[in-house]
Structure 1
Amino acid sequence: MVAGFAYYLYECLGTIVKIGTNLKRDMVAHHLVTMALALIAYNINLKRMCVMWQALFDVSNPLLHIAKGLHSANVPALEPLKHAMFKFFALSFLVCRVIMGPYSILWPSFTVGLEVLPPQYSYPCLGLMVFVYGLQLLWFYKIVEIAIKGDKAADKRD
């Protein structure tokens, strides 16, 4: 949890001072909101919930980085592997972030969370979590767009 917070902070600060990866606005917003949720979770002893969310959402990350690496390699013999990795990434993103997110994170937060936490913590957390889930839906739309249109969809946005 602390390592994830530190990494997000590093990426956001790197974007501000133009060192390392230059994040887009939606990713900066995601990092800031996730860092706020981690701070709240740490403060009110909901570390397990935060770690569960990070673990669930991070399942797709290695597959994305493998697909990106294969794409950057630009080796024709690796094209089938690149497309397979992107498909596995898209499937894991759909299952872990789009389908399981509401079931394993949002539903318990909107039901049990409201019974257990005081309103000054539960309502801001719910708003931030819905924002993060909205980003997941936006990103899945972009993933589908890239899957349909290929690299042209990504080039159009840059």
Structure 2
Amino acid sequence: MALVKVMTEAWDHTVYLATETYNVVVLGDTEDKSFKSIGFTSLKEVAVFGIICLFNLIVFQVLRMTVFSLLAKIFLRKKKNMISFLFSCREAAYYSVSVFCCFRVFGQERWFYDLKYLWTLMENYETKPAQKFLYLVELSWYLCGIFRVWYEPRKKDFKQMLVHHAATITLLGISYVLHQLRIGVVIYTLHNVADPLLQFAKLFKYCGSELGATALFVPFALAFFVTRLIMYPMLCYYTIFFGPGYQRNLYYPSEIFSMGLLCLLIPIHTYWFYLIVKVAIKSISNNGKTDDSRSDSEDDEYVKPQKKTQ
């Protein structure tokens, strides 16, 4: 009975957060019904996150079997790219919605655009219901992403994706528990901005439109370079030299660990941008045909299982 009560309260709380998200986005009501987010402090809080994760898996699996599969039947040129097409549909759908909601829900905050406000008045910062809900959805996406990366057909950058997802989950989780959602929001926004362009470029390629793929790949490369190789290192700099540890002249172990994870993502981003440059060079040599080194076709994108020898 106790478990049923916890799950019932968690469901009601999840519906409340989702409803408040709708009100904030549509009506712009960002001042009323504020409350502090103090992390996973009860079974109800954990259950809320569990419900969001479960819906994350169910909703995108249903979309895969219905809408995305129908789009594949209509537009996909080569059936051998079916897995990649469905993957890109899922990623494009989520990241597009995520970026849109992020700018609508957090766009009115000064710290969202100016990093000098990122670490000011953290003790008095209240997390509005819409912001908390959106943050938990993002955290659930990366957690479910670990599951998908592990159990779905493995790509050649499997290890990099696994480390990247694990580091991102840890960063978002720690920032949530420590009531530092500002930096978590900036982290995942910088990660998500370029992704819709990449996924839609892939979809155009799988559908046989090299022109559309190239037209989207160029702004994707620019967005990736700006957000992950310029703005993200700036975020790391402001966190190390203007964060709570710097202000109090004492860094807690959790803060040192978090800063290490922040910096760990930089070489991964650099490696991925190296692959992007290879694609650009190959595209120029192939008269504009884009072949993503991370995902050009299923023959090259996924790790082929080794044949057993007698």
TM range (shorter): 0.7 to 0.9
Q: CA deviation at 1:51?
A: 0.4
Q: Which residue of 1 aligns with 2:252?
A: 119
- Name the CA distance, whole Å, in 1 between partners of 2:229 and 2:176: 25
- Partner residue in 1 for 2:222: 91
Aligned twin of 1:108: 238
- Compute the RMSD of aligned alpha carbons: 2.1
Q: Does 1:51 align with 2:182?
A: no
Q: 1:54 and 1:152, CA in 2 relative to 1: closer, same or farther beyond 3 A?
A: closer
Please state if 1:145 is matched with 2:275: no
Of 198, 206, 210, which aligns to 1:72? 206
AA aligned opposite 2:218: K
1:34 is aligned to: 168
Q: 1:82 corresponds to which residue?
A: 213
What letter is aligned with 2:161?
M
Distance 1:5 1:33 in 2: 12
Q: Tell me, yes or no, if the aligned pair for 2:205 and 2:212 is still in contact at 8 Å.
A: no
Matched residue, 2:138: 4
Letter matched to residue 148 of structure 1? I
Distance in 2 of aligned mates of 1:50 and 1:137: 21
Runs of 4 or more off by more than 3 Å in structure 1? 152-158
Q: 1:41 to 1:122 in 2, by over 3 A?
A: same
User: What displacement does 1:87 show?
Assistant: 0.6
Question: Residues 67 and 122 from structure 1, CA distance in 2 versus in 1: closer, same or farther, beyond 3 angstroms?
Answer: same
Q: Cα offset for 1:156?
A: 8.4
Does the 8 Å contact 2:276/2:292 carry over to 1? Answer: no
* SS of residue in 1 equivalent to 2:179: coil
Gaps of 5+ in 1: none
Equivalent residues of 1:14, 1:22 under 8 A apart: no
Amino acid corresponding to residue 168 of structure 2 in structure 1: T
> Which of 136, 144, 148 is the aligned partner of 1:14?
148
Q: Deviations over 1:45-79 (max 9, x none)?
A: 110111012112211011011101011112xxx32
Give the Å deviation of 1:148. 1.0
**Offset at residue 8 of structure 1 (A):** 1.4
**What number of residue pairs does the alignment pair up?**
152
How far is 1:129 from its partner?
A: 0.5
Larger helix share, 1 or 2: 1
State the Cα distance separating 1:40 from its structure 2 match: 0.8
* One of 263, 269, 276 as aligned partner of 1:130: 263
Quote the Cα distance in structure 1 between the aligned partners of 2:191 and 2:174: 18
- Residues 44 and 145 (structure 1), Cα distance of their counterparts in 2 relative to 1, 3 Å cut: same
Deviations 1:22-57 (A, max 9, x none): 451111111111000111101111101110121122
